[in-house]
Amino acid sequence: MIDTTIIEAQNATREADLRRDYDALGEKLSRSGVDIDAMKERARGFSVAVPSWGTGTGGTRFARFPGKGEPATIFDRLDDCGVIHRLTDAAGSVSLHIPWDKAAPEDLLAKAEEQGLRFDAMNSNTFQDHAEMPLSFKFGSLSHTDAATRAQAVEHNLECIEIGTKLGSRALTVWIGDGANFPGQTHMGRQFERYLSSMKEIYKGLPDDWRLFSEHKMYEPAFYSTVVQDWGSSLLTAQELGDKAKCLVDLGHHAPNVNIEMIVSRLIHAGKLGGFHFNDSKYGDDDLDSGTIEPYRLFLVWNELVDAEGTPGLELSHMIDQSHNVTDPIESLMISAMEIQRAYVQASLVDRETLAGYQDENDALMASATLRAAFRTDVEPILQMARFEAGAAINPVLTYRASGYRARVASERPEVSGAGGGIV
Amino acid sequence: MIDTTIIEAQNATREADLRRDYDALGEKLSRSGVDIDAMKERARGFSVAVPSWGTGTGGTRFARFPGKGEPATIFDRLDDCGVIHRLTDAAGSVSLHIPWDKAAPEDLLAKAEEQGLRFDAMNSNTFQDHAEMPLSFKFGSLSHTDAATRAQAVEHNLECIEIGTKLGSRALTVWIGDGANFPGQTHMGRQFERYLSSMKEIYKGLPDDWRLFSEHKMYEPAFYSTVVQDWGSSLLTAQELGDKAKCLVDLGHHAPNVNIEMIVSRLIHAGKLGGFHFNDSKYGDDDLDSGTIEPYRLFLVWNELVDAEGTPGLELSHMIDQSHNVTDPIESLMISAMEIQRAYVQASLVDRETLAGYQDENDALMASATLRAAFRTDVEPILQMARFEAGAAINPVLTYRASGYRARVASERPEVSGAGGGIV
Amino acid sequence: MIDTTIIEAQNATREADLRRDYDALGEKLSRSGVDIDAMKERARGFSVAVPSWGTGTGGTRFARFPGKGEPATIFDRLDDCGVIHRLTDAAGSVSLHIPWDKAAPEDLLAKAEEQGLRFDAMNSNTFQDHAEMPLSFKFGSLSHTDAATRAQAVEHNLECIEIGTKLGSRALTVWIGDGANFPGQTHMGRQFERYLSSMKEIYKGLPDDWRLFSEHKMYEPAFYSTVVQDWGSSLLTAQELGDKAKCLVDLGHHAPNVNIEMIVSRLIHAGKLGGFHFNDSKYGDDDLDSGTIEPYRLFLVWNELVDAEGTPGLELSHMIDQSHNVTDPIESLMISAMEIQRAYVQASLVDRETLAGYQDENDALMASATLRAAFRTDVEPILQMARFEAGAAINPVLTYRASGYRARVASERPEVSGAGGGIV
Amino acid sequence: MIDTTIIEAQNATREADLRRDYDALGEKLSRSGVDIDAMKERARGFSVAVPSWGTGTGGTRFARFPGKGEPATIFDRLDDCGVIHRLTDAAGSVSLHIPWDKAAPEDLLAKAEEQGLRFDAMNSNTFQDHAEMPLSFKFGSLSHTDAATRAQAVEHNLECIEIGTKLGSRALTVWIGDGANFPGQTHMGRQFERYLSSMKEIYKGLPDDWRLFSEHKMYEPAFYSTVVQDWGSSLLTAQELGDKAKCLVDLGHHAPNVNIEMIVSRLIHAGKLGGFHFNDSKYGDDDLDSGTIEPYRLFLVWNELVDAEGTPGLELSHMIDQSHNVTDPIESLMISAMEIQRAYVQASLVDRETLAGYQDENDALMASATLRAAFRTDVEPILQMARFEAGAAINPVLTYRASGYRARVASERPEVSGAGGGIV
């Protein structure tokens, strides 16, 4: 959808500067024993999954303000994902959300192949009512007091697995909004037991080579209590289900001030870390673009992950999970993929042997300075060179804008009018 | 809409117990020199405004699950408000939201009179796009970078005043969602100046006997910065506008851990407290039913207000502002009006002379015990007797359920189907 | 230390009112099928442990302002604990802190017997340096990078067990301040492994009829990361140690907004709840008097505990853990014991069958109203009658003040001068 | 105290690399029209005040673990400050704290001159009791209920001004711990009025060319309410006092999630921003080294300040205010001065004209990318070159370590033993 000639023309204007910056950085890194080409290869090996629904403009309970050329179908969304990957070479897979993305599997596979994409973890949805389902999820789904409603929710998850197996997916992410808005509304212990019981039904239907991700969230849409409110509850869930069950950490689903990288470390210790939903936030589950609010926090998470590379059994699934309310979603997703990649490369620069030495000597000052030195290294030339060599864009956003893609799809896709959020 | 005979029949089953409880409490209070009848009169004098839109089921960005008999028009909503006031005698006014509640003023006045209601502060809406307005508020309203968009937002507020003058309202509440989702998106200083400039235009149009309420909110829908993010910014606004401008405190619009009653005290000191939006919350702006999460906090706010009674120039406007996602909104609003009334009466029980003595002596233990003693007094018989004597229901919720009102309107009003929130 | 005649004289002035209030409440409760005498018996059976060190005035890092008659030795502290229990009949045991409370076991036992006290859980201290220990805990204790320092910390904990066995204690509470002030200062995964390894050494030394409590704390004294920062880490610890290891929940050791009662519910589910450190707080680990800031939260915690009564294997250890900076510690501890007892009795009033019905029907409004109705019941007459019948004081604080105890010990104990905190 | 030959020898090993890095960065910046030498001059012009007491090891209420060579007198502390400035050329002034730093003014001036230092804002202390003062500040100081205690606190502040005038200081910073630990302990309105009344007494004694800084803090040492708890209260204070009164922002004194850079913007708008206390934090007022936890937040604060350069009447006073519990305080203060300087230079790189263009067009994505691009620029060569040209150290920490300064003073200064904090 983005013509190669456009990318090449755009890259041509930036190549010389890139080579100069890359060489200067390479020389500098070499003084600390770092091979820049090795870093570039790490960057090239990086990929994060894009959520199909993230290609549409998001909103809040107050309002949603759609942009031009909103994708109307999963095929539109896959086209947009294709653009993201084409320009960044860092987002080679897509995470589908059922029922929003339901379509004939063969058509989905064909479109994905056309766009050079794979299908990552499947996402079920029991936080909304589905037109074709007889029972409402207003008061819960997998943990509902009513057995039939729970069964309906289990069935939906099994269908997600079924769809996913046809698409080459190998994981199911379960996030539910079940909880309560008032003290006393639910019996929190029995509700958790009902949840676990439903999850066991789903787990039974999980193919041997699949994984099931349990995702916690502190609050919203439930505002007093949530069934899987923190990593402790997620851990209990994964422990009770079995080896194929892992915990998924969404960066925006925590209490204020919480040390997320420590949770990452604990889940690695427990053998239960399964993956991430990347985004950034300042207040609650703000779902802002990854790396735009607290970039050092993102780096510290990656510092744990790079450190843990090679841990037996550690296999991580990385996905973006954001809401784009005031930007072009394609641009935000490209920026986010690159910010995540940036943190990964920066974390890869940490001299772990030196760091371990400082840690052993309790040299807190030099240990923390070691991390900061890696973080403040401007690895942009590494990321640009990785893209350039892959045929992607040195500057994806400006290349995208130069391509006229958004205007083109705006002329092809149906216009969407603004709408209120859920508040009224 | 609720037949008097139903109320009387329900009350008859509870009157004897009420009289016994009222007498026992009266005897107990008399020992500390408190006249229970005087307290009952205070309870009878209490009234809080109901937000018209609160009568509909609310939602989150994830979903909205409507209930049965959702009000379809402002006249339906006023009927529901009438029920709330009829049963509780504690909610005699309604706060309208424009454009949601637009209708012929004479019809609104007629319906209000029929239901025994007055119109409290008007609420403008520039956080959503309006079908009839040419410009979008996606990137702001009163503080937008574009002068024409600001003018449109000013014009809308002036229209709200115009409508309000016809309805007997005497205040305009301005809350805007303007802000930014990313560092750098806006120049925070210039944005605030544009906001103030627009507010001055609105202020010019304010009748002499009106007040303008500036309402702050920490975040949402903007997730990085908000133009009027805290009481300090609201204070600056009210100071720059003039005497008729006051600050409105919404209990759910603060940072975690913030001492809201202290903000109340500071605004009283500054001569700028104008009123409240009551609700309760545990995490963010959860908009839960007043008094259901942290009842002692609600009491402490009222403790400041009762203490400040008689302060020259202090005239407060009290309104509920909540979202009812999992309950019958009429029931939640009745419960909330009564919980706010409860805190008011409890705060009225504080022996302020004794308290001041402990405070002067720095007897922290007895001072705080004095507040707790008032708070733990079960004033339910006072509230019940106030309602009973006013011809309202001793137990409004059970009386409402016995009345069959919801089923009746469900058969008359159009059915509404569930819907997603703003997220997709 | 408090003469019986003083208690009796004080009670005589309050007995008639108490009987009247007790009868009125009894009549009212009987209408909902609650037997007030049964509730009084529950109140009488209640006891919470007092921390020995809580009898001294606490401070902050900025300053400490001692009061008159500060206890100078553990025997003074036990005297003060005796007063608390004598007047409230709700605090029959003491939790010791080693090395602060080191003394000849036979002397401690004799003093405890004299005061009618037992010894509850032992507390070790590896967050301060001990004069008699060669190695510093500046950079950690049980998780220190240095094996000898870890061994020293383990040895100290084993000594605490040894002392405790002589005193009739049956539990050891381990709370450590180990962590880091800066990202990178420690390897969080290896630090946790060292911690677990040390804990296993301690666990080996635990008598069969003892329990080991793992206590988490989000932050302070470490300000970036803490080894046992949340209940998830505490759970992992207890799981790896074995059946005798349980999790202890301190109400003040959580992130802002966290739903603590839900954590309680989860730990009950996991079979790992061991007990509580009660206190209250508004901002961080404020260590304020129990029930003075958010009394409804305390009630909701007890609601979980009362609900879980009878759960196989559930045996809880309750202790107060507070710092008294501006009050007479004896008064604060009496107030706190009674506030905890109050929440326990209020939670006991919940009609659990009715509540379960509302929960099953998703009647959120009535379910939450059911909890609030129990909470707002003024159970003071029940608590007073329980004390009165036990020979304790109807009003412990006023009786204590009337007794002149503080002035008496102030004349006997050495004066302590004010002091700066740890800040300089 | 640090021999020039050591600095020169150390610099010699780093000069060649520095020149190469500086040139490469210069070339790169020139492409965006930035003159690196101009940036270097900005860096050279930067200076932040060091708090005298920060040169000693800090602690928490739990414990304090002193290091080797702790400064015993203000003259030791000035020596340490001299080292900091000598090596970084970024910390040319010292902020004194009375009574801790009391000494003969001529001796202080002589020592300062010897070390090339000036005296910045004076700090009073009424959060601790002073041996020579008859009245205790346990229950407050400037807002105490007792007039004599307030007078004592006022008098102390006037003495600080008097001392400061002799030392060439031109500002007084007033921070008080006054507040309450329990609801009801104080009448919050009257307490604030007493505070303002005392501040007016101090303000009367302020020389014409002095400024008075009002510093807010959300909590600690008071744990329920604090007299100047937020910037709104600080603003009211500065407004009521007069033109010479300004607000001082300590980065660690805010509620969780608060947007501090927005507060900066608002205070600039109000003409009341006076200066900063720099530090970093993750949970509360952690007082960690500046720029070590959320470096992007520090950058965003500086982004506001650089943007406001040239605002009439804006004159800012910058000071570090931290506690160093696990590091060598000299190293932490050097690191902090450089991290603050780094953020200042990074913020100076922002192309404000381009940014304003994106803001006007509501191009949120490019606007935020513009800030991030400046932030991720590794300006280390600029800072190093600024130091090098000033005769300071290219790498201050390693040069300091090479100098043997700490070991030398450790042999000269009295040893300090560890101590508990304020907790017991």
At D368-407, the pLDDT tens digits run 999 999 999 999 999 999 999 999 999 999 999 999 999 9
Share of residues in chain B with pLDDT > 90 (%):
97
Rounded to a whole number of angstroms, the distance from the CA of B298 to the nearest CA of chain C is 11
Neighbors of chain C with 3 or more C-beta pairs under 8 Å? A, B, D
Pairwise CA distance, residues B57 & B68, whole Å: 9
| Chain B residues within an 8 Å CB radius of C364 | 326-327
Q: Kindly identify which residue of chain B lies nearest to residue A281, measuring between CA atoms.
A: B223
Tokens at residue C401, please? Answer: 């003040």
B55 with B329: CB under 8 angstroms? yes
* Res C255 pLDDT > 50: yes
* Res D11 pLDDT > 60: yes
Tokens at residue A270, please? Answer: 């427990």
Pairwise CA distance, residues B8 & A114, whole Å: 72
Interchain proximity B139–A326, CB inside 8 Å: yes
Rounded to a whole number of angstroms, the distance from the CA of D86 to the nearest CA of chain B is 36
D 135-164: CB under 8 A from B = 138-140, 145
* Res C214 pLDDT > 70: yes
Question: How do B63-64 and B419-420 pair as beta strands?
Answer: antiparallel
Q: What is the mean predicted confidence (pLDDT) over A44-53?
A: 98
Identify the structural domains of chain B with CATH numbers, from first to last.
47-350 (3.20.20.150)
Tens digit of each residue's pLDDT (9 = 90 or more) over D337-354: 999 999 999 999 999 999
Pairwise CA distance, residues B234 & B174, whole Å: 11
Query: Where residue D417 falls among pLDDT bands split at 50, 70, 90?
Result: confident
Q: How far is CA C327 from CA A263, C420, D127, D185, D190, in A?
A: 38, 18, 17, 10, 21
Q: Which of C378, C397, C406 to mutate to test the interface with B (most CBs of B within 10 A)?
A: C378
Q: What are phi and psi of D93, to 5 degrees?
A: -140, 160
Secondary structure (DSSP) of B72-139:
-SHHHHHHHHHHHHHHHS---EEE-BTTTT---HHHHHHHHHHHT-EE--EE---SS--TT-SS--TT
What pLDDT was estimated at residue C420?
Answer: 60
Q: Does B310 touch chain D (CB under 8 A)?
A: no
Query: Where residue A1 falls among pLDDT bands split at 50, 70, 90?
Result: confident
Q: Kindly identify which residue of chain B lies nearest to residue A418, measuring between CA atoms.
A: B129
| Chain A residues within an 8 Å CB radius of B60 | 61, 220-221, 422
* Res B420 pLDDT > 70: no
What pLDDT was estimated at residue C424?
Answer: 47
Query: Where residue B19 falls among pLDDT bands split at 50, 70, 90?
Result: very high
Rounded to a whole number of angstroms, the distance from the CA of D219 to the nearest CA of chain B is 10
Rounded to a whole number of angstroms, the distance from the CA of D209 to the nearest CA of chain B is 27
Q: What is the mean predicted confidence (pLDDT) over A159-169?
A: 98
Burial class (CB in 10 A: 0-12, 13-18, 19+), D415: exposed
User: For D323, which of C100, C127, C423 is closest by C-beta distance?
Assistant: C423
Tens digit of each residue's pLDDT (9 = 90 or more) over C179-209: 999 999 999 999 999 999 999 999 999 999 9
Say how far residue B183 (Cα) sits from the centre of its chain. 32
Say how far residue C1 (Cα) sits from the centre of its chain. 24
What pLDDT was estimated at residue A422?
Answer: 59
* Res B424 pLDDT > 50: no
Interchain proximity B397–C369, CB inside 8 Å: yes
Pairwise CA distance, residues D269 & D267, whole Å: 5
Sheet holding A273-278, edge to edge: A118-119, A93-95, A49-51, A317-320, A273-278, A245-250, A211-215, A171-174, A122-123
Share of residues in chain C with pLDDT > 90 (%):
97
Q: Is the dihedral of CA A333, A338, A342, A345 positive or negative?
A: positive
Q: What is the largest CA-CA distance in chain B?
A: 66
Q: Does C301 touch chain A (CB under 8 A)?
A: no
What pLDDT was estimated at residue B422?
Answer: 59
**Amino acid identity of B345?**
V
* Res C1 pLDDT > 90: no
Nearest in space to D203 (alpha carbons), one of D243, D165, D231 = D243
Q: What are phi and psi of D41, to 5 degrees?
A: -65, -35
Share of residues in chain D with pLDDT > 70 (%):
98
User: For D359, which of B186, B232, B263 is closest by C-beta distance?
Assistant: B186
What pLDDT was estimated at residue B415?
Answer: 86
C 19-48: CB under 8 A from B = 20-21, 24, 27-28, 31
| Chain C residues within an 8 Å CB radius of D420 | 128, 422
Only one residue has tokens 């296993």, namely: C200
Tokens at residue D81, please? Answer: 């400050």
How many residues in total does chain B contain?
424
Q: Kindly identify which residue of chain C lies nearest to residue D256, measuring between CA atoms.
A: C256
Interchain proximity A181–C364, CB inside 8 Å: yes
| Chain A residues within an 8 Å CB radius of B182 | 288-289, 292-293, 326
| Chain C residues within an 8 Å CB radius of D423 | 53, 58-59, 323
Q: What is the mean predicted confidence (pLDDT) over C242-261?
A: 98
- The helix (run of H) or strand (run of E) holding residue A389 is helix A380-389
Tens digit of each residue's pLDDT (9 = 90 or more) over D258-268: 999 999 999 99
Nearest in space to B229 (alpha carbons), one of B199, B195, B203, B262 = B195
Interchain proximity B283–A58, CB inside 8 Å: no
Query: Where residue C224 falls among pLDDT bands split at 50, 70, 90?
Result: very high
Tokens at residue D16, please? Answer: 């060649």
Q: Does D417 touch chain B (CB under 8 A)?
A: no
Query: Where residue B1 falls among pLDDT bands split at 50, 70, 90?
Result: confident
Interchain proximity C300–A183, CB inside 8 Å: yes
Q: pTM for this structure?
A: 0.98
What pLDDT was estimated at residue C131?
Answer: 92
Pairwise CA distance, residues C165 & C160, whole Å: 9
B396 with B384: CB under 8 angstroms? no
Averaged pLDDT score across all residues of chain B? 97
D 342-371: CB under 8 A from C = none
Q: Which of A376, A379, A395, A398 to mutate to test the interface with D (most CBs of D within 10 A)?
A: A376
Interchain proximity B422–A422, CB inside 8 Å: yes
**Amino acid identity of C59?**
G
D124 with D156: CB under 8 angstroms? yes
- The helix (run of H) or strand (run of E) holding residue D273 is strand D273-278
Q: What is the mean predicted confidence (pLDDT) over C303-308?
A: 98
User: For A327, which of D291, D293, D365 is closest by C-beta distance?
Assistant: D365
Burial class (CB in 10 A: 0-12, 13-18, 19+), B208: exposed
What pLDDT was estimated at residue B416?
Answer: 83
* Res B369 pLDDT > 50: yes
Interchain proximity C185–A367, CB inside 8 Å: yes
Q: Which of C19, C20, C28 to mutate to test the interface with B (most CBs of B within 10 A)?
A: C28
A314 with A268: CB under 8 angstroms? yes
* Res C105 pLDDT > 70: yes
SS3 C320: strand
Contacts across the C-D interface (CB distance below 8 Å): 166
Q: Which of C138, C141, C188 to mutate to test the interface with A (most CBs of A within 10 A)?
A: C188
User: Helical H runs in C96-243?
Assistant: 105-115, 147-167, 188-204, 231-241
C 160-219: CB under 8 A from A = 180-189, 192-193, 218-219
Tens digit of each residue's pLDDT (9 = 90 or more) over A303-319: 999 999 999 999 999 99
Contacts across the A-C interface (CB distance below 8 Å): 162
Neighbors of chain D with 3 or more C-beta pairs under 8 Å? A, B, C
User: For C376, which of B294, B335, B378 is closest by C-beta distance?
Assistant: B378
